[in-house]
């Protein structure tokens, strides 16, 4: 009978796996309302044709989905104001995401011309100067290090 008590239940295994997932990937989704507030803090519009956005810890793409929602609202406002059709190009977004299971979904986000360009932002060797906007909710474990890599780009939200 004692041996039965030593075997973890399915529920214990489930919570253990969730805890390990969060600890390994440091995945904390960004609520839509917070993401929209972050996007509204940009001093320049991320919706210009020349804008290039980087999401260095993309997760499920919550920040980019909010960016698309804000872009669509801005697009509708232009249509109403000018009373004519105003084409809206897809937003160009590069993603970095450590969980390869999320890559296909990120590249399929509607309204985004997106590409996963790396697995770990801390190992990213590309030029950050290529980006006009960076959207991120970094993992808590290395969040300060993520932010220090981006300080030279300007204001961080």
pLDDT tens-digit profile of 10-60?
Answer: 655 555 455 444 445 667 788 888 988 888 888 677 666 678 889 988 999
Residues 74 and 47: beta-carbon distance below 8 Å: yes
pLDDT tens-digit profile of 64-122?
Answer: 999 888 888 877 887 777 765 555 667 889 999 989 999 999 999 998 889 999 998 88
d(CA 77, CA 69): 12
The pTM for the full model equals 0.72
Which CATH number is 29-153 given? 3.40.50.150
Residues 95 and 106: beta-carbon distance below 8 Å: yes
Rounded to 5 degrees, φ, ψ at 100 are: -65, -20
């Amino acid at each position: 009978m004692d041996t039965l008590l030593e075997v973890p239940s399915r529920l214990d295994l489930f919570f253990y796996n969730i805890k390990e997932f969060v600890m390994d990937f440091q995945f904390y989704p960004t609520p839509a309302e917070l993401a929209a507030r972050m996007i509204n803090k940009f001093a320049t519009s991320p919706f210009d044709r020349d804008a290039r956005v980087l999401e260095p810890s993309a997760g499920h793409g919550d920040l980019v989905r909010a960016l698309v929602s804000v872009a669509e609202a801005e697009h509708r406002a232009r249509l109403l104001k000018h009373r004519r059709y105003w084409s809206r190009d897809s937003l160009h977004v590069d993603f970095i995401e450590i969980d390869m299971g999320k890559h296909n979904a990120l590249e399929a986000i509607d309204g985004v011309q997106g590409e996963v360009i790396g697995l770990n932002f801390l190992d990213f060797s590309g030029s950050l100067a290529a980006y006009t906007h960076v959207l991120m909710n970094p993992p808590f474990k290395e969040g300060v290090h993520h932010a220090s890599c981006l300080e030279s780009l300007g204001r961080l939200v």
